[in-house]
Structure 1
Amino acid sequence: MTRQESWRFPIRILVTNMFLLAIIITASIAITLQYNASKKAAVDHMLSSINLLSDHISESVSHLDNDAKQTVNLLAELISSDLSSTSIEQKSSLFAQFLQKRPELYSLYIGDIQENFFQLINLDSAKDTRQLMKAQADDRWAAIDISGRGENRLRKTYYYSSTFHLNHQKTERSDFTPTKRPWFAASVQNNIYKTPPYLFEHLQVSGQTYAKRIRNTEQVIGLDILLSSLSDQLSMSSSKIINGQEQAFLFNQSGNIIASNTKHNDLDKLTQSQYIQDHLSITPKKLIDIAHNPKAKQPTLIEKEDSSRYYAFVTAIGNDILNQQYIAVALPKETLFQQATKEALRSTLLNALAMIILLPIVWLFSAPIVRPIRHLQLETEKIKQRQFDDVSFTDSHIKEIWQLSNSFVSMTEDIKQHEASQKEFMEALIRLIATAIDDKSAHTGGHCYRVPELGLMISDALEKAKEGPYKDFHFANDNERLEFRVAAWLHDCGKITMPEHIIDKGSKLECIYNRIHEVRMRFEVLWRDAEIEYLRAVHIEKQDPAAALTTWQENQTRLQEEFAFVAKANVGSEFMSEKDRERIKTIGAQEWARNFNNRLGLSPAEEMMFAKQEQNNKLDSDQPSAIEPLLSDKPEHIIPRHKEIKFDASLGIKMTIPEHQYNQGEIYNLTIQRGTLTTEDRFKINEHMISTITMLDSLPFPPELSRVPLYASTHHERMDGKGYPRKLNAEQLSIPDRILMIADVFEALTAADRPYKKAKLISVAINIMFNMCQEGHLDLQLFRFFLTSGTYLAYAEKFLPESQIDKVDITPYLEE
């Protein structure tokens, strides 16, 4: 069975791909491990950076907290009297000494129970302070004095240079009252009140207030710090410690943002807690829980509503301003593992480059596997072509291939032995069939044996020819010789289907038996009738005895001559003249009386045949007695075909099929011009070629014997294309075909066991064959080689009696 070659690939590609696959798997595992290790290192580094950042921020927060507390305490101790009557310049100068070198300190102020309020603002404390306070470029300080009541309550703002020169001032109404501020109400003596982060009303920025009541007075000293300073510190520290692409937040337990490294323009619209949740898509409580849970997995993957993904780190810092504080850092997923991804990509590219470099090396090193396997493939082709003697051992250092090669050689020897035994069995079976065909008829015994022998003798002589037209003729190998030999043995295998009475038909009237005996009995009846007529004429009719005797004797003489003529015609001859054929019809026209019913004692088959012929009005109804002709062609002599014969177009058979299977008519058979066979008999004999073709075509011959059916079915063809069964001409007939044609004819002419003729002397047979060559029946050139090579004589000496071997002068047959 032939299989499609789709999805088949060479073993070299398989070996190379397996090696590459191993590299890919190994590299993939290594790159995956490296990538995971890099990711873990990135996470560890980030956690370490977060801890370092928390330490820096904790230190900054602690330092700012201490400075603010020290400043408030110091001022509370220095101010021992009511400052409401002190000039603006004096108070400004005092407060400026504490604010000048500390930009994170936004302002110092003092308020009393009479709602008097004074504040000095450091315009350099934040980059937006000067704009929000509507200060000019050379303004360094802004002093705010609020006093008065009701509609007369005014807010006066004084803008001083760094040398406290008054640059400009402005006055406006104000409803600000210090006593209503949380820091005023919550301040008690000897304790510092610290507010949570809140929005400075006049500055609209986030900050915190430190406040303390001045001892023995109704005044409260306050200090404002801007959380923007912590944000700047957080931005600077995070960019140095991490990579600047992160979002960092400092928030307390309430979720309020204390500082951030990002701008929050929407803080005035949302609470700070809401901002963390909306911005990070995670609640502050969850972040706080993670910070306090040592088993919590960090980082935490956060997916926002816009499908962006972040990793969040959170840690608690040890110091506080009011409550516990936390630092949260959010980093885009691709940024956190950016370096790990780069490392993995670089490793992948390096591995790909390594594979490209190794590919030709692997291809080269696969040769020790591929080369012997390809050699084994060639050896299998030799086995397939049955070239067993050409199969060689394939050596290899690879154990499995070496063992496979040993198995191939051993298998070849076993197949060779098995095939030899199968060939012996097949030839024995073929000889058995040929012998059975010969044994079927004693008159053709030996034909199926002698024709192959003669054919092989001719082919051997042709192969030994050193010169002449056949010097280049050779069978390509022993398989072709076997093919020819098998065809020669099977050339008449179809005769096994032929009826014996056709094969053995030695006379014209012979069917299962020779019907000449029936005809003789009819002549016996006429003989008796002639004698009865003589006695009736003499004794009853009282005719002249001498005349009656003469008539009787003449009739008997005539009957003797006529029967002798019919008997001679029954034997058959090379040719029967038209005159003799007409005499048969004349003799057959004589009548004789049948007195017994011819429908008695019939077989079932005969009864059915008679009934069918009566039904078709081809036969008279039953007549117990009748006057019948001496010889006749009766309807019951016609044997119709029991099935229609059709030839497969692929077989190329070109034979005319007679209408009837047999015609046993007495006159029809006795008037056969040549031999003893009717047209129907001849077709039945020739039909053995059709049986030969059908039988052999049905056999599954191996490729080296594929021409057996052709060789075996061409020995009845003619060079002029008038033979059978295919009417092949000279151009269509090969040398093996022509060899069997000559072998079949020579054996038939010299055979002594044919029922319809006597064996010919070899000189006569050669002369007949020469005439057949002249008539376009046989190959003249091959016939002459048959003579010059002496093959005819070698065959005769081996198979013919000495009485048939006469001297033959072949010279006349060699002349052009």
Structure 2
Amino acid sequence: MRRRYPLHLHISTLFLGLILVVCAVLGGIGYKLSRDLLEASASDLTTRIGRQALAEMQHLIEPAEMATRLLSLQRLTGASSLSERLDSLEFLRQALDSSAALSSLYVGYANGDFFLFGRIGHGSESEASRVPAGATYVVQSIENTAGDVRGHFLYFDAALRKLRDDLRPDYAAAYDPRQRPWYTQGLASSTQIKTPPYLFFSSGKVGTTLANRAADGRSVVGADILLHTLGQTLAGQKATPGSQMVLVNSQGYALAHEEHSRLLLSSVASDGRPSLARIDQLGVPALVPLLETVRNMAGTATRTLRVEAGGSIWRASVSPLRLEGVPPLYLVAAIPEDELMAGALKLIHHSALATLAVLLCTIPLTWLLARSISRSLGSLANEAEAIRHFEFSQPINVESSIKEVGQLALTMDQMKRTIRRFLDISHAVAAEQNFDRLLPRLLGDTLSASAAHAGVLYLAEGQQLNPAVALSADGSPLAGRLPSLTLTACGPLLDAALAAGAARAAPLEPGDRSRLGFAAAELPDLSHAIAVPLLNRQAELVGAMLLLCATATDDSRLSFVQALSGAAAVSLESKALIKAQKDLFEAFIQLIAAAIDAKSPYTGGHCARVPELTKMLARAACAADSGPYRDFQLSEDDWEAVHVAAWLHDCGKVTTPEYVVDKATKLETIHDRLHEVRTRFEVLKRDAQIACLQAIANGDNAQSARQRLAVEWQQIDDDFAFVAACNEGGEYMPPESIDRLQAIARRTWLRTLDDRIGISQEEKLRKAATPAATLPVVEPLLADRPEHRIARPARDGLADDDPRGFRMPVPALLYNRGELYNLSVGRGTLSEEERYKINEHIVQTLIMLWQLPFPRHLKHVPDIAGGHHEKMDGSGYPRRLRGDEMNPLARMMAIADIFEALTAIDRPYKKGKTLSEAIAIMSRMQQEQHIDADLFALFLRSGVYLDYARAFMRPEQIDAVDIDRVLGRR
């Protein structure tokens, strides 16, 4: 039985075979025509380039010829003095500017006078060094008056303003125009003469001279044309980058080339002057064979030839350049054949690629076309399979000449679009994290999906529906303020939908428009509406949507809106719960921060101000368009992390005892123990008084006894005043003060009362460590007693290899309340143990934050909050992180924490510093690598410090700051 094949295979084979035959025929014809065209165009192109170059040369020289003829008729030729000749400068400038090849115009007189007007830059190098700044033109003058020969060089700017007049006797002595060839030949000829190209006397450059005898026959006008300008013109005529063009004379000597340095041979002629190079001495292999061609030209028409040199094929042409009055010159052009034909070869290559691309594109298109003709039903089956797998990325575009197949394809496409739109809206709503942005997104997507023209989203609160968002179909907010609705009086349509718990569509009555507030909102005249209740998983009302349409809503659209509203309600409920949790979390954060600030007046409003300053600096870093932070940006999640970390950066202070934070004197604990010490001094004074009275009673001289008492009392008062002064604390405690304290401490007093009654159980336990003394007992005036030493619990210690990374030296004792020990504190009022307790708040901050189950986007909160006491050089605490190990936001918070502490005005123990004082301190800190120098510079240059000062500091604190001086002009 004969094997059968599908129709689409027959169609594909026929079309592909036909395409292959047509492409093969067209490709063969195109290749042959392109090859013939390239061979013909190569010769034509070299000839055309020669003609264009010849025309350009003639175009440059002809204005110079005309300028020379006109100048021979001017009064300048008869002027007898320099001043008269200078009157013609404007004419000379215009004549000089008429040709780019013209370098100078001059007149030689019968009496030996000479007047030249030329451009600056065409003289010798020695002359160029004498030119004043701003000079554009030069006048060279020789005047011969009664045997007195004077030479002048006059320099002028572009506006012909004289800049300088140099007297040049050397020039006048060395130059006589009457002896120059151009003068003798021009004087002898009634027509314009041209000299063969030669090296100019003044500049050592190749050029030619034009000359005309003046009308009165007593002077000769000349013009110099530098052939290096022709070299520039030749360079502009190059057909390809590797082309070579050179102007030669009939002997083959090169007169103009794009590289002027090639024209002069390094060796010199017999007269000591440089000589011109021949065409075969230019260092271009392709030009060497053309020397004989040039010599054999004899003024004939352009000749083209093919040259092989240096392993390459060149297309060359030699064109005569016929100039009146001089032997013929020749323009030689040589073009590499591979460059000349590169464009055509590229065209052939592209044509072949295009043909291949057409084939590659045609094969699948032909195959798809054949399959679409014969298998439209199969395509619909595939589309149904895609829908079953939830693949909705492509619409159904199946077309068929069969009516039923076309209708089926249209119905399936509409079904696919509906499902895809439903899923897209559900995914978009579920992905939106911000509750305030979710509401307009939810309403806008519903309007788009339902083809409604406007709508309002209400949120349920108690027995009311409050309008949250009102939008038109283009996404713009509706004008006016819509009223809240009572659940029992929302209008017939919305009441019916709420009662049924399902979407309802009906014409919108005029009374409903007024009751719902649509008239005030200036909505278009829309006559139909869809009311959609939003119910959560427990079938509780969380809100409602009212959609306005211009026409009645069909059942399919109403069903779609009903299905969409269910998913929207669930998402709305979820996002509302998330928002409520975030709000609660935010309230806890601010509650903790407020409690810390309220706990001690020594912190003031620190926990509330540091977040503001940190965010200000972070915004400045995001806005930076240069410097190390030009690429720094924060996402919405990052900003939330900054906010949480900044508000919780000192949360560990809740564990710091108030009496440590508030300790204002060295002996202060719960109370200031100086009062107890004062009582001991009072006892000493009473003991001294009793001893005095006893001495008098025993017969001593009363006056002497009282004098001794007064001296002793004065000493006791002085000692107590010294102890009280030490108790206040300061920046430095000198060794002699420590010695005096120890001497005072050695004084004794008599205690007659038991010190172990009426005290706390904890203090009794500490005193029980030593046996009780027998009363009365003599004790030192100031003492470091065993019960003053409070042991540190083992859980409070930090190992050297602490797994959390803490690297803080921990004092052996939890507290040392020894009186002499505390009074001997060298700086401030805090002992080593108390200072550690203050610093330990950052350890507790990290421990507390590490224990919180932060979501992924807030996982860096502990590092940000717990790093603001670290330093760039690694000497900070608690983990001794270096700058490159710190989160950039932690470095920002460090600056904010320091600046706020320095300038705060609500601390009872200090006065807030001025801007200049605070910034000077922070400048030293950045020099000592305590804070980030780049961030500190950004803090100043962005003006963050000033914005914060205006918001949180007193006017008298805000003074001028020289930022450049502070930053050392970074």
TM-score, structure 1 normalization: 0.51
CA gap 1:786/1:565 in 2 versus in 1, 3 angstroms: farther
The alpha-carbon deviation at position 741 of structure 1 amounts to: 0.5
AA of the residue aligned to 1:435: A
Q: Distance in 2 between matches of 1:578 and 1:771?
A: 28
| Aligned with 2:639 (options 459, 467, 481) | 481
1:79-98 equivalent positions in 2, closer than 5 A: none
The alpha-carbon deviation at position 574 of structure 1 amounts to: 2.4
| Aligned with 1:453 (options 612, 617, 626) | 612
What residue number does 1:371 align with?
391
AA of the residue aligned to 1:371: E
Compare CA radii of gyration and give the structure with the larger one: 1
CA gap 1:374/1:711 in 2 versus in 1, 3 angstroms: farther
Q: Is the 8 A contact 1:662 1:680 kept in 2?
A: yes
CA gap 1:779/1:551 in 2 versus in 1, 3 angstroms: farther
Residue 867 of structure 2 corresponds to residue 714 of structure 1: yes
The alpha-carbon deviation at position 384 of structure 1 amounts to: 5.8
What residue number does 2:717 align with?
560
Q: Is the 8 A contact 2:846 2:862 kept in 1?
A: yes
CA gap 1:406/1:521 in 2 versus in 1, 3 angstroms: same
What residue number does 1:14 align with?
none
Q: Deviations over 1:38-84 (max 9, x none)?
A: xxxxxxxxxxxxxxxxxxxxxxxxxxxxxxxxxxxxxxxxxxxxxxx
What residue number does 1:602 align with?
759
Q: Deviations over 1:665-699 (max 9, x none)?
A: 01111111222111211222222222212222222
What residue number does 2:54 align with?
none
What residue number does 2:947 align with?
794
Q: Is the 8 A contact 2:797 2:810 kept in 1?
A: no
| Aligned with 2:727 (options 550, 570, 574) | 570
Residue 936 of structure 2 corresponds to residue 783 of structure 1: yes
1:528-677 equivalent positions in 2, closer than 5 A: 528-540=686-698, 542-543=700-701, 545-546=703-704, 548-611=705-768, 613=769, 619-645=770-796, 649-677=802-830
What residue number does 1:766 align with?
919
What residue number does 1:520 align with?
678
Q: Is the 8 A contact 2:601 2:908 kept in 1?
A: no
**Percent identity, aligned pairs only?**
42
1:331-350 equivalent positions in 2, closer than 5 A: none
What residue number does 2:518 align with?
none
Q: Distance in 1 between matches of 2:809 and 2:430?
A: 46
AA of the residue aligned to 1:557: Q
CA gap 1:401/1:812 in 2 versus in 1, 3 angstroms: same
The alpha-carbon deviation at position 498 of structure 1 amounts to: 1.7
Q: Distance in 1 between matches of 2:862 and 2:646?
A: 10
SS in 2 for 1:644: helix
AA of the residue aligned to 1:577: P
The alpha-carbon deviation at position 549 of structure 1 amounts to: 4.2
1:61-80 equivalent positions in 2, closer than 5 A: none
| Aligned with 1:442 (options 590, 594, 601) | 601
AA of the residue aligned to 2:632: F
What residue number does 1:499 align with?
657
| Aligned with 2:433 (options 383, 386, 392) | 386
SS in 2 for 1:771: helix
Q: Distance in 2 between matches of 1:467 and 1:676?
A: 45
CA gap 1:522/1:383 in 2 versus in 1, 3 angstroms: same
Q: Is the 8 A contact 2:915 2:957 kept in 1?
A: yes
Q: Distance in 1 between matches of 2:876 and 2:713?
A: 47
1:145-184 equivalent positions in 2, closer than 5 A: none
Q: Distance in 2 between matches of 1:646 and 1:518?
A: 33
Q: Distance in 2 between matches of 1:580 and 1:774?
A: 34
SS in 2 for 1:628: strand
Q: Deviations over 1:360-385 (max 9, x none)?
A: 87544222341248994996598468
| Aligned with 2:582 (options 423, 426, 430) | 423
Residue 870 of structure 2 corresponds to residue 691 of structure 1: no
CA gap 1:452/1:434 in 2 versus in 1, 3 angstroms: same
The alpha-carbon deviation at position 581 of structure 1 amounts to: 2.4
AA of the residue aligned to 1:639: I
SS in 1 for 2:795: coil
Q: Distance in 2 between matches of 1:733 and 1:398?
A: 56
Q: Deviations over 1:125-174 (max 9, x none)?
A: xxxxxxxxxxxxxxxxxxxxxxxxxxxxxxxxxxxxxxxxxxxxxxxxxx
The alpha-carbon deviation at position 634 of structure 1 amounts to: 0.3
Q: Distance in 2 between matches of 1:511 and 1:779?
A: 37
Structure 2, unpaired ranges of 5+: 1-375, 393-418, 451-555
The alpha-carbon deviation at position 423 of structure 1 amounts to: 2.6
CA gap 1:668/1:753 in 2 versus in 1, 3 angstroms: farther
Q: Distance in 2 between matches of 1:406 and 1:654?
A: 57
AA of the residue aligned to 1:501: Y
Question: Larger relative CO (CA 8 A, sep 6+): 1 or 2?
Answer: 1
Q: Is the 8 A contact 1:505 1:756 kept in 2?
A: no
CA gap 1:644/1:381 in 2 versus in 1, 3 angstroms: farther
Q: Is the 8 A contact 1:507 1:570 kept in 2?
A: yes
Q: Distance in 2 between matches of 1:421 and 1:651?
A: 33
SS in 2 for 1:575: coil
AA of the residue aligned to 1:627: V
The alpha-carbon deviation at position 515 of structure 1 amounts to: 0.7
CA gap 1:630/1:378 in 2 versus in 1, 3 angstroms: farther
Q: Is the 8 A contact 1:587 1:631 kept in 2?
A: yes
What residue number does 2:629 align with?
470
CA gap 1:669/1:411 in 2 versus in 1, 3 angstroms: same
Q: Is the 8 A contact 1:452 1:489 kept in 2?
A: yes
CA gap 1:755/1:627 in 2 versus in 1, 3 angstroms: farther
CA gap 1:566/1:460 in 2 versus in 1, 3 angstroms: same
1:257-336 equivalent positions in 2, closer than 5 A: none
The alpha-carbon deviation at position 471 of structure 1 amounts to: 3.0
What residue number does 2:328 align with?
none
The alpha-carbon deviation at position 533 of structure 1 amounts to: 3.6
Q: Is the 8 A contact 1:395 1:405 kept in 2?
A: no
Q: Is the 8 A contact 1:784 1:813 kept in 2?
A: no
Q: Deviations over 1:238-280 (max 9, x none)?
A: xxxxxxxxxxxxxxxxxxxxxxxxxxxxxxxxxxxxxxxxxxx
CA gap 1:384/1:754 in 2 versus in 1, 3 angstroms: same
What residue number does 1:171 align with?
none
What residue number does 2:877 align with?
724
The two structures, once aligned, show a CA RMSD in angstroms of 3.3
Number of equivalent positions = 453
What residue number does 1:15 align with?
none
Q: Distance in 1 between matches of 2:378 and 2:672?
A: 91
Q: Deviations over 1:152-208 (max 9, x none)?
A: xxxxxxxxxxxxxxxxxxxxxxxxxxxxxxxxxxxxxxxxxxxxxxxxxxxxxxxxx
Q: Is the 8 A contact 1:641 1:660 kept in 2?
A: yes
TM-score, structure 2 normalization: 0.43
Q: Is the 8 A contact 1:676 1:756 kept in 2?
A: no
Q: Is the 8 A contact 1:715 1:737 kept in 2?
A: yes
Q: Deviations over 1:512-565 (max 9, x none)?
A: 00111111111222222333343344442515734x444333333332222222
Q: Is the 8 A contact 2:429 2:568 kept in 1?
A: no
